[in-house]
Amino acid sequence: MTVSTARRTSRRSRGIANAVPLVSPVRPGMLGGGYKPLTQPEVERIHALVLQLLEDLGLSQITPSLEARAIEAGCWVDDTGRLRFPRALVEDVIARTRRKFTLHGIDPAHDIEIGGGRVHTGTGGAAPTIMDFHSGRYRESTVSDLYDIARLVDRMDNIHWYHRSVVARDAETILDLDINTTYACLSGTTKSIAISYTDSASVKAVIPMLDAVAGGEGKFRQRPFCTAVCCHVVPPMRFATESCAALEAAVEAGLPILLVAAGQAGATAPAALAGSVAQACAEVLAGLVLCNIIDPMCRGIFATWPFVSDLRTGAMSGGSGEQALLSAACAQMAGFYDLPNSVPAGMTDSKLPDMQAGGEKGYTVALAAHAGASMIHECAGMHGSLMGTCFESYVLDNDLLGAILRTVKGVEVTEDALSFDVIRDVVLGEGHYLGHPQTFSRMKTDYLYPAIADRRSISVWEETGARDAREVARGTVQTVLGEHYPTHIDPAIDRQLRDNFNIILPAARMRPGNGVW
């Protein structure tokens, strides 16, 4: 076949293929776990240290209420006031806790199954600043930003939930912060949401709001679509009093609980990576034991989030190779325990969506995904070592996450995929695969095509404006945020929420034509 014939066949093939709907090879919850940074003996040594830390050292500063529950379950308080966890109790909780459960979306179409090595990617973080879309300069983040990011995430297929990623700096009180964060997230997306509640008062305050959106009193508990993020420890090995009170209230209210231990290697966790992993596992297991004492059927998520310090300065280094290894090792430990879990990745140290950001996000998320993390938090939108975020990065990262998830799916090896008959037909026939039925079929089911990354020729790219990826992503941001104003909350319910809560997000800001986008 001549080159010109091949080109004509290729063009004809593309025309036929474009008429066939795409069936993405990527979906939420594909199985990971093939990458193992630790050997089995190393996993068992870390586990032995975890049990030793909990029994021989324990954690300090337990709240009186949880202390009473823990002692009744078999724990004890030593002479220094540290709560000790017997090995038998810890191992019993690991053995009987829930292996998997549904993390509900506000819309059931966004329900995802957590656990069993199934990999999901989503947002997270508590950035106090955001890069202003119009000025390009960082500023304090607001409740409007929370709402806008939620609307953007709502349209990103590879971002599977919305854990609030910025702090609403325009909220005047802690209670207002937690109420308005919940409202903005609920209003901006129909995916599952997650909120870092500060104390028990906030948890109790938002339950009527969650019930109202769910359809009435008690309805939220039947399909809980909001996760309470509880940093229940202050590393190293101390409980956080107010967060523990929030944890207790959240478990009693039926919320899923993201149990976070976020030590920083070299600062609040050992500089040695193995020790940092062990400390994080011990701190999270302490919280999981408490949750199971309160409710044996609780939806606890084993969220080992040890971060890395640049030991030259002490500053966090979220995009480092060491961070990639830490998160992957924690995912492997969670797989050893067979627990629904979360690790952080994609927390670039870059302040811009540039080459540094793409590289750091790529290898940290890829390692965590291939290690089998149930939930990879903070892998979309985050910059400046979690201190900032950027609208266009959610769009760029959605593309990147799709490609990473495609690698998690792996290579299908079946009789049909091995393709002997296809190879024979082509070798004895036209000599190319461009027009073969398998090519038409497989190109629509086996291949993932990016929305932002540009695969066209240089000449075509130049002829159509020579735009870089960030510029293309900015166009997507403007389109989505200019048009997509979710209406899943009934207007009457919204008025009820505004009557009963101090909502600071203006209603006019939640409609098209508001002059912002």
Helices (H), 254-382: 273-294, 321-337, 355-370
List the end-to-end C-alpha distance of the chain, in Å, as a whole number.
52
- Tell me what pLDDT residue 20 has: 53
Q: Which residues contact 387 (CB under 8 A, 6 or more apart)?
A: 127, 128, 129
Q: Is the pLDDT of residue 196 over 70?
A: yes
Q: Is the pLDDT of residue 11 over 90?
A: no
For the record, the structure tokens of 416 come out as: 């049909």
Taking residue 305's Cβ as centre, other Cβ atoms within 10 Å add up to 26
The tens digit of pLDDT for each residue in 168-186 reads 999 999 999 999 999 999 9
Pairing relation of β-strands 264-265 and 307-310? parallel
The pLDDT of 288-295, averaged and rounded, is: 98
- Tell me what pLDDT residue 23 has: 84
pLDDT confidence tier of residue 6, bands split at 50, 70 and 90 = very low
pLDDT confidence tier of residue 21, bands split at 50, 70 and 90 = low
Q: Is the pLDDT of residue 14 over 60?
A: no
**Residue 192 bridge partners (DSSP):** 161
Q: Is the pLDDT of residue 3 over 50?
A: no
Which of the 8 DSSP states describes residue 239? B
pLDDT confidence tier of residue 515, bands split at 50, 70 and 90 = confident
Give the predicted TM-score (pTM) of the model: 0.94
Q: Is the pLDDT of residue 158 over 90?
A: yes
CB of 198 closer than 8 Å to CB of 262: no
Pairs from 209-218 (Cβ < 8 Å, separation ≥ 24): 209/179, 209/182, 209/183, 209/497, 209/500, 209/501, 210/182, 210/186, 212/493, 212/496, 212/497, 213/106, 213/186, 213/489, 213/493
The tens digit of pLDDT for each residue in 422-474 reads 999 999 999 999 999 999 999 989 999 999 999 999 999 999 999 999 999 99
Q: Which fold has domain 98-409?
A: TIM Barrel (3.20.20)
The pLDDT of 131-159, averaged and rounded, is: 98
For the record, the structure tokens of 64 come out as: 């009186």
Q: Is the pLDDT of residue 103 over 50?
A: yes
- Tell me what pLDDT residue 276 has: 98
Q: Is the pLDDT of residue 318 over 80?
A: yes
Residue % of the chain over a pLDDT of 70: 96
- Residue type (1 letter), 396: L
CB of 413 closer than 8 Å to CB of 419: no
The pLDDT of 237-254, averaged and rounded, is: 97
The tens digit of pLDDT for each residue in 52-70 reads 999 999 999 999 999 999 9
